[in-house]
Chains A and B, each alone.
Chain A
Amino acid sequence: MLDQILSVLLLGAVVSAIYALVAIGFTMIFGVGGVLNLAHGGLIMFGAYAYVVLTSSSVVGAIAVPPAAGFVIAVIATALASYALYAGLVRYIEDNVVITFLSTVMVALLLTNLIHYRFGANPQGTPSVLSGSLHLEGFGTRIGYMYILGFVLSWITIGLLWYYVTQTDEGRSILATSMSERGAQLTGVNLLSVKSRTWLIAGAFAGIAGVILGTVEPTTPQMWLNPLANAFIIVVIGGIGSIKGSVVAAYLIGYLQQFTTEFIGQGYVGIPSLIVLVAVLLLLPEGLYGREFAHE
């Protein structure tokens, strides 16, 4: 019993860290542009496949870079893909919310079909950045080094992001835009540049999450759905647009799911999160930290 609780505590922490990465990117884009980017899951998948293509020689051509370099390149590629999505499509239609999120859904499905066509439906063999796992005698469980790497990376990037949006002028302009677009404009913030930077950052976060998810879980053309659904739940609970809320809610949902898997059964994983979600919606429709500084 104690073993199980300790294992939930440990695994929950690492899983939640990855959820937080996914949710932050999603929530930032909503906070700044009011855009629901349903292609965010697609970007995660893009990152995972970019990493596979770069690191394993058997997939495309004979490209095979070392895993660590592949990781970095895949993250940069995903950030650029995210920026391309904004500059090439979303920028022109973001005045209409419905059209925008329908378009991003179409992009996600387009990506799914293209990846399915090119790589097939079977999971890809993904080389680990760090292989092996840590065996914890005292806890009676083992954690892959990839999970630990994900946990550490997640907190480093969240810390960097926190520093960026609170301590630098460029970052503060992102925060300002999410509070009040008009107010930010009046103080001379360049909206286009703020939005471009937001999409780049969100893309990089999706890329990191994608590479880690791709190595700990199967890389398939359907892998974008679950992270996206978790991001939805987390973001709604935390409050759409709030970075702090996303981190808190990510840990809430991560632990809840880990607890369910350990004590109730794998098949019921989504159900308690849904109950929490409905409860939050009914009691706090804005979420835990919903738009706390926002001026509509």
Chain B
Amino acid sequence: MSSETGRSSGIASRISGAAGRAGGAALDRLTTVTGPINRVLQPLANVYNRLIGGYFGEMNGLQFVLVVGTLVGLLTAPFWGNYALIQAMIAASIWAILAMGWDIQSGYTGYISFGHSVLSGGAGYTTAMLIHNVNPELPMLVTIPVSVLAALGIGLLIALPSLRLSGPYFSLITFVAVLIFYRMMNPLSEYTGGETGLAGVEKIFDITEPVQSYYLFLLPMLAVAVALLIVARSNIGLILLAIRENESAVEAAGINATKFKIWSFMLSSIPMGIGGVLLAHRFGGVDPGSFIVVDNSIEMIAMAVVGGMGSILGPLGGAFFIILMEDIVLHAFGLDAQLRWAILWIIVLLILVFARQGLFRKLWYGLERLGGDRR
């Protein structure tokens, strides 16, 4: 097609393409330096590749160092970070769970959902409503599984009718689902607390023990990341990706695509439930403004976009990037909260237009090239 719009739409890709080529040439020159470093590190990576590479995919020495370095950095944060940083990292851990949960459904199948804040919000509300309406003494061992199950139920409720639709229709319906859920809060205010929400959820963030509390958020995040990575790198992940690329081909191969889409929605409901419960326990309560509004879904999407949709670890990085930018970096300039988010939206827009793959996927492939020839 040689329409004018066809030509103009090429401009953005040409600009990013040119930048990519210039960057690529620089990368290739750097390889002479980084190649030997990579060869030194390669034996370490090979140990990993032989042991568990089959589950997560293989990597070269530089990539191995990045992953291990990040992991060590995350695990030791309480020992070198200050209070504000730890607070931000706790928030980032929760949001990373939500962004990864969104990614396994929307990022992988290409069915973009704006409704995921209903899943996390539903789980948070279930926890608060159990404590508020049923019995304030309910132990977490009861409330947490019930809340995650509630997220699953809500997920099924949204997925069954909406996944009959394709593309934009699906996104519209999930968007509407959030607004309806939000509006239900007021008529049911006897149970939900209406606009003000409910308080009284046990806070598991203890100010006097920031170190211990930090791990209560970090470890579930890492567990979710590992679990989702295993699924994403398995044949199931492959089918979900195939649905994104060409759904009729999947159907033609004798695979029921709708079934897999519903499964992916279910699969993403579980991390959404975990994230929602953690969010409720962090704030010590729930309210519609910080749990359900569609902005929450869009923030998850923004994190996934920044990191790279359809990669699980990308959204994880994106969540830390956005939260740390918002709470630490832009905060340091003393900007108003509205202005901070405005800047972040501009960053996300730029990434959408010029780096559709996402920052962390670019970094990952950059390291692959820096490692030089593997053989």
Contact = CB atoms under 8 A, between A and B. Distances in A.
Interface of A: 30, 36, 38, 89, 91-99, 101-103, 105-107, 109-110, 113-114, 116-117, 181-182, 185, 190-192, 195, 225-226, 229, 232-233, 235-236, 240, 265, 267-271, 274, 277-278, 281-282, 285
A192 B341 contact: no
22 contacts: A30-B168, A38-B175, A93-B12, A98-B110, A99-B352, A102-B301, A103-B353, A105-B298, A106-B348, A113-B345, A114-B342, A117-B336, A117-B342, A192-B8, A195-B5, A236-B169, A240-B169, A267-B186, A268-B187, A269-B183, A277-B173, A281-B162
A102 B339 CA distance: 20
Contact of B161 (A113, A225, A278): A278
B165 A285 contact: yes
A279 B301 CA distance: 29
Contacts of B180: 270-271, 274
Contacts of B341: 109, 113
A224 B220 CA distance: 36
B305 interface: yes
B245 interface: no
Category for how many chain B residues contact A: 35 or more
B346 interface: yes
Nearest to A189: B3
B6 interface: yes
A106 B4 contact: no
Contacts of A195: 5
B4 A267 contact: no
A96 B165 CA distance: 19
Contacts of B4: 190-192
B345 A109 contact: yes
Contacts of B302: 106
Interface string B181-208: 0011011000000000000000000000
Contact of A99 (B171, B176, B294, B356): B356
A91 B9 CA distance: 6
A109 B298 contact: yes
A70 B353 CA distance: 35
Nearest to A232: B172
Given A91-B9, A117-B336, A229-B176, A102 B186 contact: no
B59 interface: no
A92 B349 contact: no
Contacts of A181: 3
Contacts of B11: 92
Interface string B45-65: 000000000000000000000
A232 B171 CA distance: 10
- A-B CB proximity, top 9 nearest: A267-B187, A117-B338, A92-B12, A110-B345, A113-B342, A192-B4, A95-B9, A229-B179, A232-B172
